[in-house]
Structure 1
Amino acid sequence: MSGAAPMRVLANATELIELLAGEGALPLVDVATRIGVPRPSIYRLCEGLAAVGMVELLPDSRVRLSTRWLALADAARAGMLEWRGAPEVLAHLVERTGQTAYLSVPYGSSALCVDWCQGRAIDVLAYRPGSMMPLHVGAAGRTFAAYGVPLPEGDRRRRTEKTIIDYDELAADRERIRRDGYALSEEDVTIGIGAVGVPILAPDGTLRGALSLGGLVEDIRKHCDEFVAELRAGVERLSGV
């Protein structure tokens, strides 16, 4: 077997895992189409991953990530020493605002939620630890796009009628976020839900992550300025840990 073959298998496994992480359980046929791999190869790959406990094969010919990833996610989060002060900062944001607070980092062409603290108002938010959002939607994703994470050319799926997908509108959105220093998400991911996010920058200006607050869009709109102030204070506390 050539050296390229094992690398191709690993690359396919990575694409499969990231697809399931972003969208949940999917039919095996859809997985093969989405990542461009022949069906027999996908079946063998999923059987292999299931044998080592990384995915579960469901009776209706779908595949999903296994619960083993929960333990792996906790271990990975514990190992991120640069964010060791995040739980206290996120809890303080919830205490001050009542909204759900998030810490996100760039991951490829997505925003990855690495930690959160649930708010007091609602529990219908789509963004949770371990989940990813594309860079054209949401407060964290659009913040990352504005601060230099490349926005992919394709795969700008419309989540709601308020999702921005036009190239020129996205460019204007990035300029606005850079000018104001925060991103405001108003129902572009889920109707009725909003979010506001600010970047976490290293002293040299390098993007490290984002803090954001999510909740009912009316609350986010009404209290946007004060929420931005709380997020910026949270960034200062997090950066000083």
Structure 2
Amino acid sequence: MRTVEKALRLLEYFDDQRPEIGLSELARLSGIDKATVLRMLGDMAETGLLEQDTTTRQWRLGAGILRLARLREAAFPVTRVLTPILERLAEVTGETAHASLLSGRDLGTVGVVESARSNRVYIEPGLMLPLHATASGLAFTAFARPEVRAQVLTRTLARITETTPTDSAQLASRLSEVEARGYATADQTFEAEVFGLAMPLFGADGFAMGALAIATPSSRVSDDHIAMLVSALSPAARDATLGLGGRIPPHHRIAA
């Protein structure tokens, strides 16, 4: 792995549960020696991507991230487009709605609107979604460029729960099913008691660039419930694709 890639991957360890991380912890998480990690942290601090608390000596995301995020949003208005779509989707379905875009090797969550129900699925903002273990990942991969799909099938597929697909042949079969019906489902393959249903978000080239999804407690799932989710998700995914400047390919169809 290239040095720049290694450095940028350190940013992926910061999340809602770990907004600040110490040098030793980052070295442990990344598997990189402390001296190298410290050098990478220093380089990113100079560009504003990271900063260090002078009292605790822990590291956190820097103000440079905000500047880049504003530039990204101005040029490619993801939040402005997706937020109202997610709000409507959560209201119509009564479930948590979320959107993700390709970020490195997996999908990065770029928007979440939680269900108003007391029994609901919580999704951490910025959560990374493995392509093989989530409905969003399956929906993306099934409609991604052929070379991307082929690369995913050559990976070592980590087992996250007892039902996570870890065999490439099994995953290839699931991707074919997703491609045929137009949406993906995943029952407790990433998190216990969570059922996901997702559809791809297409880019201007007609290939998937992310996914729009619904997460519901597995206890609420039934054939009728799934049919309702598909019916609500289909127009929402279409609106999101078009709103982001994408193009829905002719071969993509939704089978309710």
Output the TM-score relative to the length of structure 1: 0.78
How far apart, in 2, do the equivalents of 1:186 and 1:60 lie? Answer: 41
> What fraction of aligned residue pairs are identical, expressed as a percent?
22
**Residue identity opposite 2:39 in structure 1:** R
Counterpart residue identity of residue 86, structure 1: L
1:122-149 deviation per Cα after TM superposition (whole angstroms, max 9, x unaligned) = 4653x43322111111111111222233
Once the two structures are TM-superposed, the CA of residue 235 in structure 1 deviates from its matched residue by 2.0
Root mean square deviation, CA, Å: 3.3
Cα deviation, 1:82-126, whole Å, max 9, x if unaligned, reads 66421111111011001111121112220111112121124653x
Which of these residues, 214, 230, 233, is aligned with residue 231 of structure 1? 233
Map 1:71-110; keep pairs closer than 5 Å: 71=66, 75=70, 76-77=72-73, 79-81=75-77, 84-110=80-106
Instruction: Identify the residue that residue 182 of structure 2 maps to in structure 1.
Output: 181
The alignment partner of 2:152 has SS state of coil
Identify unmatched segments of 5+ residues in structure 2. Answer: 244-256
What SS is found at the alignment partner of 1:143?
Answer: helix
* Aligned-partner Cα distance in 1 for 2:59–2:120: 23
Letter in 2 for 1:185: A
2:127 aligned residue: 131
1:210 match: 211
Question: How far did 1:161 drift?
Answer: 0.8
Q: Distance in 2 between matches of 1:116 and 1:207?
A: 19
Q: Distance in 2 between matches of 1:49 and 1:203?
A: 32
Deviating 4+ runs (over 6 angstroms): 57-61
For residues 183 and 95 of structure 1, what CA distance do their matches in structure 2 show? 21
Q: Residue 115 of structure 2: which of 113, 119, 126 is its match? A: 119
Residue type of the alignment partner of 1:225 = A
Give distance in 1, aligned partners of 2:183 and 2:52: 39
AA in 2 matched with 1:43: L
**Structure 1 residue 178: deviation in Å?**
0.7
Is the contact made by 2:203 and 2:209 (CA closer than 8 Å) also made in structure 1? Answer: yes
Q: Which amino acid aligns with 1:151?
A: V
Distance (Å, rounded) in 2 between the aligned partners of 1:142 and 1:22: 25
Contact 2:198 2:213 in 1 (8 A): yes
More off after superposition, 231-240 vs 161-170: 231-240
1:151 counterpart SS class: helix
Larger deviation, residues 83-92 vs 223-232? 83-92
Measure the CA separation in 2 of the matches of 1:73 and 1:131.
19
CA apart distance, 1:230:
0.8
C-alpha separation in 2, matches of 1:192 and 1:99: 14
Partner of 1:18: 12
Q: Which residue of 1 aligns with 2:246?
A: none
